[in-house]
């Protein structure tokens, strides 16, 4: 579905988001909707993840069961995302271990 070296990719499901991160997309545009986070999303390289339309139209939902995202390196920009219902000892929504992280118009 995805190939290495992609600079920009649109996704519409959580598995597509995970795949886009793994495949090295530099810019990931998320279609509006609620994404049920079924495993912690780990970012350890530079990437921008953004709502494709209206800020706040993308919800990353940890379902009260897991950490939504761990950032452990690179320059990461999160734009227009609602991150909710994460659960973990350290940062249920976003746990930043290392890296340069920018949140723009996120909740």
pLDDT score of 2 more than 50: no
CA 67, chain centre distance (Å): 12
**Segment 69-99, tens digit of pLDDT:** 999 999 999 999 999 999 998 889 999 999 9
Burial of 4 by CB count in 10 Å (0-12 exposed, 13-18 middle, 19+ buried)? exposed
Q: How far apart are CA 94 and CA 89, in angstroms?
A: 11
pLDDT value, residue 5: 53
pLDDT score of 1 more than 60: no
**Segment 6-36, tens digit of pLDDT:** 589 999 999 999 999 999 999 999 999 999 9
User: What pTM value is reported for the model?
Assistant: 0.91
């Amino acid at each position: 579905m995805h190939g290495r070296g992609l600079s920009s990719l649109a996704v519409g499901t959580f598995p597509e988001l995970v795949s886009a991160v793994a495949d090295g997309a530099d810019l990931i545009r998320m279609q509006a909707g609620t994404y049920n986070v079924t495993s912690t999303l780990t970012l350890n390289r530079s990437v921008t993840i953004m709502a494709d339309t209206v800020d706040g139209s993308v919800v990353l939902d940890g379902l009260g069961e897991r950490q939504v995202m761990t950032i452990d390196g690179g320059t990461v920009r999160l734009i227009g995302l609602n991150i909710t219902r994460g659960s973990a000892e350290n940062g249920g929504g976003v746990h930043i271990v290392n890296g340069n992280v920018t949140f723009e118009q996120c909740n």
